[in-house]
Amino acid sequence: MERNQITGIILITLLMLGYFMYVGNKTSEETIVNKDTTALNTTKPSLLQTKTKPINLDSSTINEYKSSYGQLAIATSGKEELITIENKNLKIDFSNKGGYVKKVLLKNYFTSSKTPLYLFDENNNHLELNAHINGKPSNLYELFYEPKIEKFKDSTTITFSLNLSSNQNITQTYTIPENGYGINYRISFNGLENIIENKSIEINWIQDVPGTENDNIQSRDRTTINYYTVDGSFNNLAEASKSTEEETLQALKWVVFKQKFFNSGFIAQNKIEKAIITATPSTDTLNVKMLQAKLNIPIQDFYTKQGGQFKLYFGPTQNDALKNVAEGYDKNLYLGYPVIREFNKYVVTPLFEFLQKFITNYGIIIIILGILVKLLLLPLSFKSQVSMAKMRVMKPELDELKTLYPDDMQKQQSEQMKLYQKVGINPLSGCVPVLLSMPVLLAMFSFFPNAIELRQQAFLWAPDLSTYDAPFHLPFTIPFYGSHVSIFTLLMTLSTLALTFFNNQMTTAQGPMKSVSYIMPVVFMFVLNSFPAGLSFYYLVSNILSIAQQKIMQQFVDEDKIKHQLEENRKKNASGQNTGSKSKWMQRVEDAMKAREEQLKNQKKK
C-alpha cells in the first residue's frame, strides 16, 4: 500500500502541475520569451489617433453641425480649458470640451521606468457619448460645457452644463471624495425630448493599454475586460488569447478594463442594457492590448430627477481598494478557484495586510507568512509524520508478503489490507494530510502573482518581487524555460530536491517510485522560471521550514511506542476485544478484495 500512497501523491503533484500550467496562462513557449516580438492583428487603431480640435465655424460648417447636432450645434465651438482636481490618491484633469475625464494620474504609483503612472490618458483612450439626433449618432463629448466647482467637507463636485434655455440642458456632475479611487458620475437631460431621439445612449470607450510593468508578455496575459451581470455573475474575456476576443452581452452592472495590477471601471447604478466588448493583443512592444466596450444605457435613465447615475474607478486591483466599490467588484482581484479563493480572502490576505502594518521589508513578510502557514498546517504535518512511522514499523512484514507472493500483485494487496486491518492502520492516513494541505500551496500560487503590494518592492538581488528576478541572461533561449535565469527559482528547485531526498529517507518506498519523485521539482523549475520572485522565494522558505519541521517532529515520534500500540491492536483484534466498527472506506476496500478473490477462484475453476 505504500506504493499506492506514493502514487497518490504523485498524481496530486501532476494535478498541481496542470493547475500551474493552465491557471498561470503558461500555454506556449511564446509566453516564456523575455522580450515580446509577437505581431498580431489589431482592429480600429485609428479611433485612438482621432484628435478633436476646436472648430472654426463658417456657413458650411454650421450647416453640417446643425444636421448632426440640431439645436445643440451652438455648443460645437469654444476654447478648451482643463480643470484639475486632486485627492489623496488621484490627480484628475477634466476638459470643458466634452465635460469628461482626460487624464487620471495615480499619485502613489509609478511605471516600471519610474515615470508617473497615468491610468487614463487621452493619448491612449478614446471616449464617445453618443445620442441619436436627426437620425444619426452624435458625440456629446464633442460639445463645450460650462464648468462649476463646489467644495464640500469630504468631497469636491464639478458640474459641466450645456444650457439651451432655462428648461433645456445637459449636465454632467462628478463627485470626487477626499481619498479613494472611485468617482461618482451623473448625466442628466432636461427638456431635450424633441432634440434627442428616444434611443439608447451609447458610451463607446477604447483604450490602448500601455505597458507599465517590466514584463510586457505577462502584462498582456493578465490584461482583459471583466464584467458583472445584473443577476450576480462574474466573467471575462480570455486573458491569454493571442487573437481578438469579442462578446455581446445583456444586462450588466459594470465593465472593467483590467490590467495586471490596475483597472479602470464603469459601473451603472441601474444597468447597462447591452454591451459589446472586444480585446485585441497589440502589435508593438509599448502597448499590450486594445480594449473596447460599447455600452448601451436606457435613455429613460437620463431624464429622471437623479439622472443616469454611474461610478468610475481608476486604481489598483487591491483588496482594500476594491471591496467597497460596487457589488462583486472585488472579484477583479483573482485569488484562485472557489475554495482557494476563500482561503486567500479570509486567511492569507488578512495575515499579509496585518504584517504590512509593522514590517516594511516584504522579504521578511514572506518569511513570517511562511512560518505562520506552517504552524497552521502543523497538525496535518504531524499526522503525516506518524503515518510514515507506522509504515516504517510495518516494513518487515510488508516485505515478507512480497516474498510470499512475488508474482501475485492482487494477493499482495489483499494480504496488505488484512494486515492493516489487524494492526489498526488506515492506508489513507498518509495521503489525506497531503491532500488537505494542497489548497494552501495552490492558494499561494494564486496570491503572489496578483499581489500589487509586491510591485517594485526589492529584496536581496531582486529589484521587484512582483516579477521574476533575472541577475543575468543567457545568450540563447531554452525551450519552455526562456533566456533569463531566475536565482530564486533555482534555489527553490534545489530546496525541493533536498526536501524530496529527506522524505524518501523516511518512507518505505523502493525502486523507481523514489526516482520519479525527483523529476517533478525539475519540471516546476521550468514552469516557475517566469513567475514572480516573491512566489519562488515563498516556496524556497516553505521547503526550508518543512525540512526543519520534520527534523523537530522526529524527536516527538516514538517508533517503539507506535510498534507496541500496533501489537496491542493486533492482539485485541485476534481475541475479539476490538469491536470498533470499520470505516466505510475500509469496508468498501474489503468488499472489493473479496469480490476480486471470488472472481479469480471462478476463473480458475473454469
Count of domains forming the chain = 2
pLDDT tens column, 327-360: 999 999 998 888 888 888 888 898 998 999 999 9
Q: What is the CATH number of the domain that holds 228?
A: 2.70.98.90
Query: Domain boundary residue among 313, 334, 355?
Result: 334
Position 27 confidence tier, pLDDT thresholds 50, 70, 90:
very low
Beta bridge partners of 316: 262
Query: Domain boundary residue among 299, 334, 369?
Result: 334
Residue among 207, 233, 236 nearest 221 (CA): 236
Position 53 confidence tier, pLDDT thresholds 50, 70, 90:
very low
pLDDT tens column, 236-267: 999 888 899 999 999 999 999 999 999 999 99
- The SS3 of residue 232 is coil
- 322, 388: one domain: no
pLDDT of residue 66: 59
- 198, 226: one domain: yes
Residues near 232 by Cβ (< 8 Å), separated by ≥ 6? 327, 328
Residues near 141 by Cβ (< 8 Å), separated by ≥ 6? 97, 98, 99, 100, 127, 128, 129
Please give the Cα distance from 260 to 220 (Å, whole number): 8
- 354, 495: one domain: yes
Is residue 292 within 8 A of residue 282, CB to CB? The reply is no
Which of these ranges, 109-113, 257-261, 497-501, 509-513, has the smallest mean pLDDT? 509-513
Instruction: Tell me, yes or no, whether 602 lies in a domain.
Output: no
- 290, 362: one domain: no
Instruction: Tell me, yes or no, whether 452 lies in a domain.
Output: yes
Phi and psi (nearest 5°) for 336?
A: 105, 180
> What grid cell was written down for 110?
509609478
> Residue range 65-93: average pLDDT?
87
pLDDT of residue 322: 92
Q: Does the pLDDT at position 52 exceed 50?
A: no
pLDDT tens column, 445-465: 889 989 999 999 999 999 989
pLDDT tens column, 503-550: 777 665 555 566 677 788 888 888 888 889 999 999 999 999 988 888
Instruction: Tell me, yes or no, whether 308 lies in a domain.
Output: yes
Which of these ranges, 77-91, 219-233, 500-514, has the smallest mean pLDDT? 500-514
- 195, 283: one domain: yes
Instruction: Give the DSSP per-residue string, 98-132.
Output: TTEEEEEEEEEEE-TTS-EEEEEETTTEEEEEEEE
> What grid cell was written down for 266?
464603469
- 352, 295: one domain: no
Instruction: Tell me, yes or no, whether 470 lies in a domain.
Output: yes
- 298, 436: one domain: no
- 524, 506: one domain: yes
- 186, 320: one domain: yes
Domain that holds residue 542: 2-32+344-561
Average of per-residue pLDDT values in the chain: 81
Which of these ranges, 91-105, 288-302, 386-400, 417-431, has the smallest mean pLDDT? 417-431
> What grid cell was written down for 488?
530564486
- Give the count of alpha carbons within 13 A of 322, CB side only: 20
- 315, 351: one domain: no
Phi and psi (nearest 5°) for 457?
A: -100, 120
Looking at per-residue confidence, does 285 or 201 come out higher?
Answer: 201
Instruction: Tell me, yes or no, whether 103 lies in a domain.
Output: yes
Is residue 550 within 8 A of residue 382, CB to CB? The reply is no
- 330, 349: one domain: no
- 10, 147: one domain: no
> What grid cell was written down for 197?
431621439
Position 418 confidence tier, pLDDT thresholds 50, 70, 90:
confident
Please give the Cα distance from 37 to 34 (Å, whole number): 10
Beta bridge partners of 188: 171
Q: Does the pLDDT at position 234 exceed 50?
A: yes
Is residue 188 within 8 A of residue 162, CB to CB? The reply is no
Structural element, H or E, at residue 534: helix 533-554
